[in-house]
């Protein structure tokens, strides 16, 4: 008995030794920044002079900041669009690639993955060129189709800037979810589909009655990735519009950046970041709980 206990303790010590670098990295680059942001949110600081204690003043200001709440609302719209145009659409495409056109799945997967492999900054610059109101491909395509009335300054007009950014986000991240769902759909036993075909089920029935329930774990994981990514999105918005025009495409991260590095209100920027982190964690937890209660990916 003592030998077994000593053996177990030896393995525990070895496991802790191998895990310690990861713990140190998490402590240095995750835990410490979160704690420091929470501490800094209690101060007014311009990044150079001595911080001035504000208590809950920054949070009171944030609660009454209309730009922040509109930016947060756009993050939620991004999350909703991601669930539809990234997660659900990716699942539909993955089913088609695996069950309908498997012979062409590899070539289609390659094209879907190209945006994932390219830097988001490069994608943003490419789409800025495509959205250019004078020589961009989008307006040129409308002109070629005789739809000159649809030409816009897509990124320069308040009514279209945010929608244009959402389109780019969907284009950029769709391929990643297609890849993940292709792996999940391929794991569904062929015998299940064969039994459904014997009963006369078509692709529509097999997709909603077989595929979605049986890849529920992937649906839940990808939904969480989409929600978390949407609530902290930054680079594409920053490159395409920088939150403009007149905050029309502002999201929380770009607003945080402007407060911190534009207005040098580091304390208020820390308050925005700390609140964003809390809201992202709460949102991810709520989505996880909802999908689990709805039976998506659950086990009975």
pLDDT, position 290: 80
- 289 or 32: whose pLDDT is higher? 32
Nearest to 150 by CA among 32, 159, 84, 115: 159
pLDDT digits over 123-175, tens only? 999 999 999 999 899 999 999 999 988 998 999 999 999 999 999 999 999 99
For the chain, the average pLDDT equals: 89
pLDDT, position 295: 61
pLDDT, position 199: 87
pLDDT, position 269: 95
* Strand-pair partners of 229: none
At 285, phi and psi to the nearest 5? -65, -40
pLDDT digits over 239-261, tens only? 999 998 999 999 999 999 999 99
Q: What is the mean predicted confidence (pLDDT) over 57-75? A: 95
> At residue 86, does pLDDT exceed 80?
yes
Domains of the chain: 65-293 (1.10.3720.10)
User: What are the residues whose beta carbons fall under 8 Å from the beta carbon of 161, sequence distance 6 or more?
Assistant: 154, 155, 241, 244, 245, 248, 249
Ranges 13-17, 196-200, 252-256, most confident: 252-256
> At residue 2, does pLDDT exceed 80?
no
Whole-model pTM above 0.85? yes
> At residue 296, does pLDDT exceed 70?
no
Nearest to 230 by CA among 265, 182, 279, 180: 279
User: What are the residues whose beta carbons fall under 8 Å from the beta carbon of 127, sequence distance 6 or more?
Assistant: 164, 168, 171, 240
User: What are the residues whose beta carbons fall under 8 Å from the beta carbon of 280, sequence distance 6 or more?
Assistant: 228, 231, 232
pLDDT, position 297: 52
> At residue 300, does pLDDT exceed 70?
no
> At residue 185, does pLDDT exceed 90?
yes
Q: What is the mean predicted confidence (pLDDT) over 67-80? A: 95
pLDDT, position 1: 47
Q: What is the mean predicted confidence (pLDDT) over 17-37? A: 89
Count CB neighbours of 49 within 10 A. 8
């Amino acid at each position: 008995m003592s030998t077994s206990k000593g053996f177990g303790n030896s393995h525990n010590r070895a496991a802790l030794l191998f895990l310690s670098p990861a713990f140190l990295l998490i402590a240095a680059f995750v835990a410490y920044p979160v704690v420091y942001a929470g501490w800094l949110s209690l101060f007014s600081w311009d990044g150079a002079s001595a911080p001035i204690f504000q208590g809950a003043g920054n949070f009171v200001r944030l609660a009454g900041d209309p730009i922040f709440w509109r930016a947060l609302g756009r993050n939620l719209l991004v999350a909703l669009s991601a669930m539809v145009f990234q997660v659900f659409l990716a699942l539909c495409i993955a089913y088609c690639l695996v069950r309908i056109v498997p012979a062409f799945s590899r070539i289609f997967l390659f094209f879907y993955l190209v945006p994932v492999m390219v830097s988001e900054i490069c994608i943003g610059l490419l789409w800025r060129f495509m959205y250019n109101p004078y020589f961009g491909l989008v307006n040129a395509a409308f002109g070629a189709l005789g739809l000159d009335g649809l030409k816009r300054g897509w990124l320069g007009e308040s009514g279209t800037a945010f929608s244009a950014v959402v389109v780019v986000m969907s284009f950029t991240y769709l391929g990643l979810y297609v890849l993940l769902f292709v792996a999940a759909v391929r794991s569904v036993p062929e015998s299940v589909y064969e039994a459904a075909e014997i009963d006369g089920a078509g692709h529509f029935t097999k997709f909603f009655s077989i595929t979605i329930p049986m890849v529920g774990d992937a649906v839940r994981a990808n939904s969480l990735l989409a929600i978390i990514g949407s609530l902290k999105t930054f680079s594409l918005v920053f490159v395409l519009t920088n939150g403009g025009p007149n905050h029309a495409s502002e999201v929380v991260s770009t607003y945080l950046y402007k407060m911190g590095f534009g207005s040098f209100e580091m304390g208020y920027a820390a308050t925005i970041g700390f609140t964003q982190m809390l809201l992202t964690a709460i949102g991810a937890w709520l989505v996880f709980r909802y999908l689990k209660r709805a039976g998506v990916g659950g086990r009975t």
